Amino acid sequence: MNTLSITDPLPNGPEHFDAAAFAAHTLSSPQNLAAILDHTLLKPDATRNQVLQLCHEAAEHRFACAMVNPTWVSLAAAALQGTGVPVGVVIGFPLGATLSASKREETAHMLKHGAHDIDMVLNIGLLKSGQTADYEAIRQDIHGVVQLAHAEGAIVKVILETCLLTFEEKLRASELALSAGADFLKTSTGFSTGGATADDIGLLRGVAGHRAGVKASGGIRSLADATTMLHAGASRIGASASVKIVAELAGHATEPSTTAPGY
């Protein structure tokens, strides 16, 4: 497996992702911005009506997906049927410490119930243990979910929980996820000690190049926050304040979404 060490240069050249061009395009209209926002509701006390409101907003604004906890996937899929807006779901959330078999079983059920975006949490404890066998176990953990998702035309975003990792661990986690077939590297659950930072987005994009997307999540609550992440290299943003962010770009205020604050 090809991994980066702390002293290796980050990929460049033909694999380089033009963050400035992507940001300029995304920020050129509220519609383009909405298309890269994962409209998110993951708080534990979310109600049925709040999930339905999230789905209504996702369909109205054409967000990239409506991201919910597993118990709400069937409801969200029914609410979004015919809109073209996919359902996203979190797996092994928020700790990443569940068994690989449990993550695969959870993924299989979520795909059957209509999920398209699978955001899974990497096994953080195994990564920080620093053993070669643990690294391979992480890769297999991710690959098992990726295989199931890709077989159904779904995508996988691997949550690294960057706030808990050293620089070297972020590099290693990124390469493990990419070698396992991840479609996106994602910063955070939003439930740990910190969220997305521009430095972490730049680091993940440097590793990913054009091989995968990079999703910024955790603490992104304004257009300024989103703009910072896009210029750092994000190609997807997870936020509960998506309606507010798009409204800011459109140049008018909006009432806070019933799903915010949070993620």
Per the annotation, the verdict on 112 as an active-site residue is no
Helix axes 167-179 and 198-208, enclosed angle (nearest 10): 40
Q: Under 8 Å CB-to-CB from 2, ≥6 apart: which residues?
A: 175, 179
DSSP annotation of 10 reads: P
The catalytic position among 38, 119, 183, 200 is 119
Per the annotation, the verdict on 141 as an active-site residue is no
The catalytic position among 186, 200, 225, 244 is 186
CA distance linking residue 26 with residue 32, whole number of Å: 5
Using CA atoms, how far residue 20 sits from 17, 23, 159, in Å, is: 9, 5, 24
CA distance linking residue 169 with residue 192, whole number of Å: 17
Per the annotation, the verdict on 215 as an active-site residue is yes
3-state secondary structure of 183: coil
3-state secondary structure of 231: helix
Q: Which residue has the tokens 């990419």?
A: 178
Asked whether the beta carbons of 87 and 117 are under 8 A apart, the reply is: yes
CA distance linking residue 257 with residue 50, whole number of Å: 9
Q: Under 8 Å CB-to-CB from 81, ≥6 apart: which residues?
A: none
Q: Under 8 Å CB-to-CB from 55, ≥6 apart: which residues?
A: 66, 75, 76, 79, 80, 85
Q: Under 8 Å CB-to-CB from 166, ≥6 apart: which residues?
A: none
Q: Kindly state the tokens that stand for 201.
A: 């987005």
Residues involved in catalysis? 119, 186, 215
